[in-house]
Amino acid sequence: MPKFFIKTYGCQMNERDSEQVAHSLITRGYERVESETQADVVLLNTCSVRDMADQKALGKMGMLGRMAKDRPHVVFGFLGCMAQARGESLLKNLPHLDLVVGTQKFHRVADYVEELVIRKREVAARIADPGHRRMDDLRFSTGPDYFGVVDVEREFGSQETIREQTLAPKQATAFVSIMQGCNMHCTFCIVPQTRGAERSRSIAEIVSEVQALVAHGVKEVTLLGQIVNLYGRLEFPKVDNKSAFVQLLGAVHEIDGLERLRFTSPHPIGFRDDLIDAFGRLPKLAEHIHLPLQSGSNRILRAMHRAYTAEKYVDLVRQIRKARQGVAITTDIIVGFPGETDDDYEQTRALVDEVQFDNAFVFRYSPRRDTPAAEMDEQIDESVKEKRNQDLLEVVNDTVRRSHERLVGQEVEVLCEGPSKTNSARLMGRTRTNKIVVFEGSDEFVGELVDLKIERANGFSLYGRSCTLSEVHSPLSAPQKISSLSVRQE
């Protein structure tokens, strides 16, 4: 059977979509390989959130053109957000590209691939024939539609199709896609165009997917949505003043054998009292929230169409920290949004310093086609963006370093995910606060909750020593563990 390689750019939702595609190919007998050089099918699942992500995927596919010449039977495909945004135009500049599939059609990829594998084998056989030496000649002689399959249509119910994945042995964590799309229309963001409008799966479907994952040994799930805390607001009514998202958290929390529950990414809008309360009463909710700030200037937040103020954001962080001691808060920040003055930037810097995030992803504003911000006057010079980016990173890095140093000597519970990416002789796991800890240990730790003592913090890396495999991890035991994880107090 053919071998496939899939490379994912961008966010965790893309990772999850890729796993769905991989699962659908594996169930048809295809073998997954770790390098494009061994593959008969090469798929790039793309991201469009910043121009650099677009360019990376385009550059990679361009380079694969060389492989297409040597191995004409190989099927090449673009999937995901950039495929959705650029559609058929991608085929024009990349003659070896066979497949362009958008964000609502991941479940169709296996069908298209099967068809293309057969076609490309025929092509390869014909190219081997001295009468048709060049693949480009063959393409044009058979008409422009001969290879290219493009499917970027909308599909009703597509949010229900990301629900299967092939689990690795002892896999302890998994992503679960609970909704698709976004209705917020932040002025810098291309997501509403690439992912469509908000559509949510039902609570029953999601619970049954998590139950199946837990039955296979998964101990931690991360619920994924573009604005995850607005899950179900269009489809499901509030019950007892609880939003559909909080109802979903409650239902997933009930699943026996699930140890940790995460979600990403919420919007400060919609992070209401019922969700804050959930952190006080659902101990499986892990102590980490990624809460995008984007800017600390109210003027810029308004221009971004982020419907909160810097003061409201800070107050929300305060309430969350009050509801759950030791919760780690990370964020996304854009510097150099059109019209951002030195004063606006200083407000962002001051807010970052005040909140003391556990980590922050700082991005230079990148204009995206057909978004309102791309058309705004006062675009900021790249050198200014770069300066602000570096400056803010220094503030963030300082905070992260100090918070890691405070962890030294503490006992933490990690969920061991497997070998460390930087040194496969060691293991890595994540704390409940989502910090990665590297430690020595044998295979028996993989997939298990492990108590570690943090011995060393080396810049951004934490190193620990195992105490023992954790014995009791009932929900009722979690709060005691949580209190021992409190690493940064106001």
Count the site residues for ligand SF4 by CB under 6 A: 10
89-97, 126-134, 184-192, 476-484 -> range binding ligand SF4 (CB under 6 A): 184-192
Task: Tell me how far, at minimum, the Cβ of 189 lies from ligand SF4, in Å.
Answer: 3
By beta-carbon proximity to ligand SF4, the closer residue of 228 and 427 is: 228
- Our finding on whether 41 is near ligand SF4 (CB under 6 A) is no
308-311 long-range contacts, CB within 8 A, separation 24+:
308/268, 308/269, 310/347, 310/351
Task: Tell me how far, at minimum, the Cβ of 154 lies from ligand SF4, in Å.
Answer: 17
15-23, 125-133, 187-195, 340-348 -> range binding ligand SF4 (CB under 6 A): 187-195
By beta-carbon proximity to ligand SF4, the closer residue of 185 and 281 is: 185
- The tokens describing 291, both together, are 């809460």
* Interface residue with ligand SF4, options 42, 75, 90, 184 (CB under 6 A): 184
Task: Tell me how far, at minimum, the Cβ of 175 lies from ligand SF4, in Å.
Answer: 17
User: Which alpha helices (DSSP H) does 191-339 contain, by range?
Assistant: 191-195, 203-215, 244-253, 273-281, 298-304, 310-323
- Our finding on whether 182 is near ligand SF4 (CB under 6 A) is yes
Return d(Cα 302, Cα 295) in angstroms, integer. 10
- Our finding on whether 191 is near ligand SF4 (CB under 6 A) is yes
- Is residue 271 within 8 A of residue 291, CB to CB? The reply is yes
Return d(Cα 328, Cα 432) in angstroms, integer. 9
Site string for ligand SF4, 131-160 (x = CB under 6 A): ------------------------------
- Our finding on whether 226 is near ligand SF4 (CB under 6 A) is yes
For residue 102, give the nearest of 132, 126, 82 by alpha carbon. Answer: 82
Q: What are the angstrom distances between the C-alpha of 390 and each of 51, 52, 193, 384, 395?
A: 19, 18, 30, 10, 9
Peptide bond into 265 cis (omega under 30): yes
The single-letter code of the amino acid at 60 is: K
By beta-carbon proximity to ligand SF4, the closer residue of 262 and 267 is: 267
Task: Tell me how far, at minimum, the Cβ of 292 lies from ligand SF4, in Å.
Answer: 7
User: Which alpha helices (DSSP H) does 30-103 contain, by range?
Assistant: 51-70, 81-86, 89-93
- Our finding on whether 264 is near ligand SF4 (CB under 6 A) is no
By beta-carbon proximity to ligand SF4, the closer residue of 307 and 350 is: 307
Task: Tell me how far, at minimum, the Cβ of 177 lies from ligand SF4, in Å.
Answer: 14
17-25, 181-189, 216-224, 428-436 -> range binding ligand SF4 (CB under 6 A): 181-189
Task: Tell me how far, at minimum, the Cβ of 323 lies from ligand SF4, in Å.
Answer: 23
Task: Tell me how far, at minimum, the Cβ of 413 lies from ligand SF4, in Å.
Answer: 31
The full length of the chain comes to 490
* Interface residue with ligand SF4, options 267, 404, 430, 481 (CB under 6 A): 267
By beta-carbon proximity to ligand SF4, the closer residue of 293 and 416 is: 293
- Our finding on whether 186 is near ligand SF4 (CB under 6 A) is yes
Task: Tell me how far, at minimum, the Cβ of 226 lies from ligand SF4, in Å.
Answer: 4
The single-letter code of the amino acid at 110 is: A
Count helices and strands (H / E) in the chain: 15, 19
Q: What are the angstrom distances between the C-alpha of 69 and each of 88, 100, 213, 315, 327?
A: 22, 20, 42, 58, 53
- Our finding on whether 270 is near ligand SF4 (CB under 6 A) is no
- Our finding on whether 368 is near ligand SF4 (CB under 6 A) is no
Return d(Cα 43, Cα 403) in angstroms, integer. 39
How distant is the alpha carbon of residue 334 from its chain centre? 18
Name residue 456's beta-bridge partners: 463
By beta-carbon proximity to ligand SF4, the closer residue of 214 and 334 is: 334
For residue 106, give the nearest of 189, 230, 195 by alpha carbon. Answer: 195
By beta-carbon proximity to ligand SF4, the closer residue of 308 and 463 is: 308
The single-letter code of the amino acid at 313 is: Y
For residue 116, give the nearest of 164, 163, 68, 154 by alpha carbon. Answer: 68
Task: Tell me how far, at minimum, the Cβ of 300 lies from ligand SF4, in Å.
Answer: 14
- Our finding on whether 65 is near ligand SF4 (CB under 6 A) is no
For residue 234, give the nearest of 278, 276, 198 by alpha carbon. Answer: 198
167-175, 177-185, 323-331, 468-476 -> range binding ligand SF4 (CB under 6 A): 177-185
For residue 225, give the nearest of 217, 234, 216 by alpha carbon. Answer: 234
- Our finding on whether 11 is near ligand SF4 (CB under 6 A) is no
Binding stretches for ligand SF4 (CB under 6 A): 182, 184-186, 189, 191-192, 226-227, 267
